[in-house]
Structures are given as C-alpha cells and as structure tokens.
Amino acid sequence: MAMIRKKGLKVFTFILLLVFLTSFFLNYAHTTTAYTWFPKQMVMHFSEHLKRLMKYPERPCGCSQCISETGLAPWFDERFNHTMQPLLNAQNAFLENDTYRWWMKLQRERLPRRLNDTFRELFRIVPSDVDPFLEKGPLVCRRCAVVGNSGNLKQSQYGRDIDNHDFVLRMNRAPTAGFEADVGRKTTHHLVYPESFRELAENVSMILIPFKTMDLQWVISAMTKGTINFTYVPVPRKIHVKKEKILIYHPAFIKYVFDSWLQSHGRYPSTGILSVILSLHICDEVDLYGFGADSKGNWHHYWENNPSAGAFRKTGVHDGDFESNVTTTLASLNKIRIFKGR
C-alpha cells in the first residue's frame, strides 16, 4: 500500500508542477505588453488553477481506462453497484432478511440460532476495521491479475506478466511451485472456503468465502482451539495464517454477484466469478488468466495430468457457460482483458 500511495503522490506532484509551469509560461508571454507578475498574483493564479482541478476531477482513477467509469456501457451500468461492500467487517456485519434466507439455503443449512454471536466472536479474532485493500483514489491506478486454474495456462509463459500486477488473486488449491513460468510467483490474495483451503505464504492474505455459517465458525476454531475438523468433508483443524491476513467475503456480496451478474443462473456463484467481480470493485484495471477451456476445448486444472476432465464445468451448482458469457461480455466492453493461453 505504501508503494501505491507514493505513486499517487508523485502523480499529484507532477500535476501541480504542470499547472504551475503552464501558468508561468502563459503569463510570461504577456509580460512585455501587460503587467509584471508579482508573487501575490502568481499565488492567486496558481490557486485558481488548483481549484478548477480539484472541483472538476475528470476520472475516477489514474489509469488510461477505469473500470468503475459509468455512462459508457449500459449493460455494465445496470449490473455494477459501486455501493456494495465486498468484505465483511465489524461495521457492516449484518444481513438483510432476504440475503439471510438466501444465504442459509446455499447448502441447505438449518437456520443458525446465534449468527450475530458468531460475527462478534469472529471479529474478536480477526481485524474488525475496513481493510486498506479497498482503498481507491483518482490519482492511483490499481492493477489486478485474477489467476484461474485452467489448463490453458500450460506453456503460456504468462508468469512475468502476472507478477507485474499490483494485486494477484488466486483461488482454491492452485499451486505456483513448479509452474512459475506460466502462472507466476506472486500472490497477494488467495480466495478459499474451508474445503478448498491450502497453506499460504506469510505475506499472502486469505479471503474466506463463507457459503455457510460453519465456514465462519471454522475460522474461529482454526485460529483458536481447533475443534472443527469436518464439515461435509475433512477440513484443516488449525491454519497458519496471521490474523491480520484474514479477510471475509461478504455474504451480501455473494448474493449481489448471483442476482446482478449471474441473473440467478446456477445455484450460487463459483469461486472464479466471485474473484472476478470482487476485482472489479477493488481495482481499476483487471486482467484474467487461466479461465475457460484449453486450446483443444478441454476443461481441466493446469496442475493435473487429465486433459479430458471437465466435470466441474457442469456441476449442477454453478453455470459455467453463463459465467463465461459474463466475463466475455466484460472483455468486449473493454472492462477487463482475458488471456487465453498460447
């Protein structure tokens, strides 16, 4: 974050200098026929330029194109809601009734008796304030690489390009060791649910996607007594993640992705599309790697030796084809870029 702030400060300083020099030379050109530019007049002139600059900001970010810019694509504007908060924290830890009922049905969970108690206990363990990961600004250009798990990453040589992004998001059990040339070395945020958890490096933030109340309780357990080791499959009893590196995907944001972006297709969104829509809200430029089939039309993971595998494309839970249409449409509107392998 310090690097991003420093970059923004440099851009801001450059703009101020540009305004000053422009004002100076324009005035100098008229000094022989008009008047002498005294320090007081110089300050007033500079102040007027600065006021105009601050009063009429042209763009929401420092990139050449900004995802959150509206008025360019009606399809995008109908779906993108900038007020939605992607991450759960102590200040927004509540669910509207319709969201609460929908979330409870995702995995046919019985209504919990103490959801609010679970929230309170959770934020006694993990950070309870708004994460700086969500900070954006008009002078900053935040670039995200969202790295999926498709076999089309094999022999892609995308590793260096992926690592050049400010944020690199990966998901589930995706490894990097042994595949660095194609998938990169860098990871800033890794999205998981308890059943897909894998050990992470110390500097990586874990974003838990809670599909049920037990997922939240699992975080509490895994960071304390380690009493939960089974949900519908075995899960790690303890995890080695620093508490300040634990982030929680907001259940209301999951429903927003399902309602607004997937138009209720499938039973609930996949980790992949949840990662993509999250990135639209936290970054100004988004590049997708490792999504979709490989060059032969097969759907499989890049670390597997089973190129004919494709069961996860049609699971009865996620609508892979519709999710793919969403990302393709975003790319056609120049909101994201999709790299499909070589």
Using alpha carbons, list the distances in angstroms from residue 65 to 223, 279, 335.
41, 15, 8
Is it the case that residue 39 has pLDDT exceeding 60?
Answer: no
The SS3 assignment for 286 reads strand
CB-based burial, 44-70: b 16+ in 10 Å, e otherwise: ebeeeeeeeeeeeeeebbbbeebbbbe
237/189 Cα distance (integer angstroms): 22
Residue 31: its pLDDT value, please? 36
User: Residue 184 annotated as binding?
Assistant: no
User: Residue 266 annotated as binding?
Assistant: no
- Band (pLDDT 50/70/90 cuts) for residue 56 is very low
Contact between 163 and 185 under an 8 Å Cβ cutoff? The reply is yes
R_g over Cα of the chain: 24
CATH architecture of 74-339: Alpha-Beta Complex (3.90)
Is it the case that residue 27 has pLDDT exceeding 80?
Answer: no
User: Residue 159 annotated as binding?
Assistant: no
User: Residue 320 annotated as binding?
Assistant: no
Residue 148: its pLDDT value, please? 97
Is it the case that residue 252 has pLDDT exceeding 60?
Answer: yes
> Helices H, strands E: what count in the chain?
11, 8
Average the pLDDT over each of 56-65, 101-110, 316-325 and give the range with the smallest value. 56-65
Please report, for the chain, the start and end positions of each structural domain, with discontinuous segments joined by +.
Answer: 2-55, 74-339
Catalytic, 268? Answer: yes
Annotated catalytic residue within 193, 256, 268, 289: 268
274/272 Cα distance (integer angstroms): 5
Residue 192: its pLDDT value, please? 98
Q: Indicate the DSSP class of residue 257.
A: I
User: Residue 149 annotated as binding?
Assistant: yes
Residue percentage of the chain with pLDDT more than 70: 79
167-171 vs 337-339, strand pairing mode: unpaired
In this structure, the chain runs to a length of: 342
Ramachandran category for residue 264: left, alpha or beta (phi over 0 → left; psi -120 to 50 → alpha) = left
Sheet with strand 143-147: strands edge to edge:
87-88, 246-249, 205-208, 189-192, 167-171, 143-147, 285-289, 337-339
Residue 41: its pLDDT value, please? 54
180/160 Cα distance (integer angstroms): 9
In the chain, the amino acid numbered 294 is D
User: Residue 302 annotated as binding?
Assistant: no
Name which residue leads in pLDDT, 120 or 315: 120
Give the H/E segment covering residue 134: none
Helical segments of 29-114, H only = 39-55, 74-79, 97-105
User: Residue 71 annotated as binding?
Assistant: no
Is it the case that residue 24 has pLDDT exceeding 70?
Answer: no
What is the tens place of the pLDDT at every residue in 181-211? 999 999 999 999 999 999 999 999 999 999 9
How much is the mean pLDDT over the chain?
85
